[in-house]
Amino acid sequence: MRLLSAALVVVAAAFAWKAGAQSSRSATLRPMSAPAAPQITWLDDRPKEFVAAVTEPKTLNAGRRQDVELLFRIQDGFHINSHTPKSELLIRTELTLQPTAGITVGRISYPQGHPYTFSFDPREKLDVYTGALTIVAPVQAKHPGSYTLRGELQYQACDNASCYPAQKIPVKLEIVAR
């Protein structure tokens, strides 16, 4: 976000220089008045990631499919769209796990979301996750050993006034099969 702030200042300075150069035919940079500079410092106060993965190593029985729970924590004051949002315009929460030699991952299942409405439009019902989110993946380790399952969680976070661009966070799960 600081990069965005810096970019806006550079663009605003270029416009101010051009305006000053056209009016006086001088190539000197003139200071801008305060109202012309956009104020977006509030973005720096927002969390960089709205969701954190809370993973612990899992122990499985080799050769047997078992459900593995992956836990995520959503920042207080925010919600993320569920896996089945009510609108096509909203970005759904989705966990993807990369193929790993010796590990088979089945169809990932997501919890039901909770109904949510914005105060400015109580007729529109959203389907969201808040607080703790547990996603279940059926996993089978073919042989005993240690494995690392990697992937990412895509989500779109919102607060009570607006939604933010979609983000992806890395997911890493250590598995020991016996």
Q: Looking at the domain that runs over 48-177, which CATH code has it been given?
A: 2.60.40.1250
Q: Where are the domains of the chain?
A: 2-43, 48-177
In the numeric block, the tokens 């007729």 are attached to 123
Return the pLDDT at 47.
Answer: 57
Mean pLDDT of the chain: 79
Return the pLDDT at 72.
Answer: 97
Return the pLDDT at 42.
Answer: 38
Return the pLDDT at 36.
Answer: 39
Given a cut of 70, the residues of the chain with pLDDT beneath it are 1-47
Closest CA to 72 of 160, 165, 146, 167: 167
State pTM to two decimals. Answer: 0.72
Cα–Cα distance measured from residue 129 to residue 125, given in angstroms and rounded to the nearest whole number: 13
145-155 and 94-97 strand pairing: antiparallel
